Amino acid sequence: MIEPAILAAIHRRLDRALAPPTIRLRPFVVADVTIGYIDDTRAKRLARFGSDVFSVDADRVELAPALKDERTRSKAIAAVADALRAEGALPGWRDELYRVAARFDHPPLLHIERGAARYFGVQTYAAHVNAIVRTAQMTSMWLARRSMTKATDPGMLDNLVAGGIGSGLSIRDTVIKEAWEEAGIGTELAARAQHTGTVHILQSLSDGLQRETVFVHDIELPSDFQPVNQDGEVTECRRVSLEEAAATIAIDGEIDEVTVDASLVVLDFLIRNHDIRRDQPQFNDLDALRYRGAADPSLNRRT
């Protein structure tokens, strides 16, 4: 069982990190579907691209209806992203595409450069894996430290396996791909990862609005397994007890120790594993944090 003081610290940190956006946000509409949310400053910037690309008014930003299909919309958004990158407005260029749709299982409306997703506040998806080791003595968890060259959250601790779901990849494809690249977990072992549910992220950040659904997985690794990073994006792998994992996601300094995404995934495991019990005072508040990010951002914005 995790100490109450640690639970209170986890709640304080994540409650603040996941506080609803306080800036005004305009829906970003494509083919009559709201796919993102854009703040006023970015909306004004997009208006400069002209009505052939965007219709911008006080209430929303709409991709020009003349862009009628996935190909033409993606091409137009790619040109806008290139221009924004040249202006220095997209600090985290990835050369990877995200699929943008009304829902995860719906046909794509367009594809967007991963580094531009937050600029437009579009819904993105990721797969994270709690890498667990169970022995007769204790249950522990692997965490990984992100490289300082990462475009987002450099140098912070993360789940051992974590990655955005790019265009053309399924949830399972992403788990297997990231398991090998980040920890040297082979396909046969990675395929044992079990999908356990979702957590939701909603954060107003310097590069825009992060709206992400994380498909959470658990995998039990052999006690003698040693992760080995393959792609240079991880600098350290650390195996910690569940009590240490809880204390680590509670660290609330000027710079966080663990990414918000990974912290929610760890919290989710601690709840499901009954390390955080329903009879503890903080349970309901912590439980609700896992789903807060699923809310419509426009319901909380200033008008």
168: left (phi over 0), alpha (psi -120 to 50) or beta: left
- Say if residue 258's pLDDT is above 50: yes
User: Containing domain of residue 78, as a range?
Assistant: 25-120
Q: Which of 120, 152, 184 is the last residue of a domain?
A: 120
pLDDT tens digits, one per residue of 149-177? 988 899 999 999 999 999 999 999 999 99
Q: For residue 162, how many C-alpha atoms fall within 13 Å in the half-sphere facing its CB? A: 30
SS3 at position 117: helix
Local confidence band at 301 (pLDDT 50, 70, 90 cut-offs): very low
Report, as an integer, the average pLDDT of 278-299. 91
Q: What is the pLDDT of residue 37?
A: 97
Q: Are 264 and 272 in contact (CB under 8 A)?
A: no
Residue 51 has pLDDT above 70, yes or no: yes
- Say yes or no to pLDDT of 255 above 80: no
Q: How confident is the model at residue 298 (pLDDT cuts 50, 70, 90)?
A: confident
9 and 79 in a common domain: no
Mean pLDDT over 28-41 rounds to 97
Cβ atoms 163, 127 nearer than 8 A: yes
Is 230 found in the same domain as 128? yes
| Tokens standing for residue 127 | 């797969």
Same structural domain for residues 192 and 128? yes
Per-residue confidence (pLDDT) for residue 252, from 0 to 100: 87
Q: State the Cα torsion 103-104-106-110 to the nearest 10°.
A: 90
Q: Which one, of 4, 3, 6, 20, lies nearest residue 249 by Cα?
A: 6
pLDDT surpasses 70 at 291 = yes
Cα distances (angstroms) measured from residue 143 to each of 136, 146, 152, 156, 271: 21, 10, 17, 10, 18
- Range 213-234 average pLDDT: 97
Provide the CATH number for the domain around residue 166: 3.90.79.10
Q: Give the residue-averaged pLDDT of 232-246.
A: 96
Q: pLDDT, tens digit, for every residue of 261-282?
A: 999 999 999 999 999 999 998 9
Fill in the amino acid letter for 105: D
CA angle 94/96/101 to nearest 5° reads 125
Co-location of 262 and 146 in the same domain:
yes
φ/ψ of 85, rounded to 5, equals -65, -45
Residues 6+ positions from 290 with CB-CB distance below 8 Å = 199, 200, 264, 267, 268, 271
- Mean pLDDT on 187-193: 97
What integer best gives the mean pLDDT of the chain? 95
- Say which DSSP state 116 is in: G
The total number of structural domains that make up the chain: 2
Residue 152 vs residue 66, higher pLDDT = 66
**pLDDT band, very low/low/confident/very high, at 87 (cuts 50, 70, 90):** very high
pLDDT at 299: 63
Same domain membership, residue 104 and residue 63: yes
| Range 213-229 average pLDDT | 97
Percent of the chain, pLDDT > 70?
Answer: 98
Q: Which alpha helices (H) appear in 61-160, and where do they start and end?
A: 70-86, 117-120
- Asked which of 85, 120, 155 is the last residue of a domain, the reply is 120
Residue pair 100/164 in contact by the 8 Å Cβ criterion: no
Task: Report the alpha-carbon distance of residue 52 to residue 43 in Å, rounded.
Answer: 15
In one-letter notation, the amino acid at residue 274 is H
Please check the confidence at residue 302 and state whether its pLDDT lies above 60.
no
44 shares its domain with 171? no
Burial class of 277 by CB neighbour count within 10 A (0 to 12, 13 to 18, 19+): exposed
Q: What is the pLDDT of residue 4?
A: 94
- Chain CA centroid to CA 221, Å: 24
